[in-house]
Amino acid sequence: MIDGKKLVMDVMAALADGDDRPFLDAMHNDMKWTWMGSGGLSRTFDGKESVLHELWKSVKTDIAQPFRVTATLILAEGDHVVVEGVGNNKTPNGKEYNNRYCWVMKISGGKIVELKEYMDTDLVRRTFSSE
């Protein structure tokens, strides 16, 4: 069986280098990714297809590639791995977008089955709104 912390450490090392393939490959087909909170951005992407075609499609078009997140802390307990990280990104028009994240991931069978994302939603609004 694949160790959850090792899996996430490998995924995060690749994301820091701008390679999202290991992250996407680590997602279970039935995973749930939830943007936590109670504001307008809070929602759940139900299933890997939803993550890829709704969330990750925006990552690919609204952020200059490659998308990068560097882990500053990784903690593991049982089947959960928590990552604190910071983005190093820009929009296609050059606007800085360096959000801070906390991802709480549940790992089962060597795959990410759940990801709860805590982030600065005000930064998202200010960066990507057409105000």
Tokens of 114: 């759940």
Under the banding of pLDDT at 50, 70 and 90, the label for residue 1 is very low
Whole-number Å distance between alpha carbons of 33 and 112: 10
Which CATH number is 4-128 given? 3.10.450.50
Model pLDDT for residues 57-90, shown as the tens digit of each residue? 999 999 999 999 999 999 999 999 999 999 999 9
CB-based contacts of 129, cutoff 8 Å, min separation 6 = none
The pTM for the full model equals 0.93
pLDDT value for 77: 96
Model pLDDT for residues 5-64, shown as the tens digit of each residue? 999 999 999 999 999 999 999 999 999 999 999 988 899 999 999 999 999 999 999 999
Tokens of 39: 């504001």
φ, ψ of residue 5 in degrees (nearest 5): -65, -40
Length of the chain: 131
Which residue has 């005000």 as its token pair?
A: 122
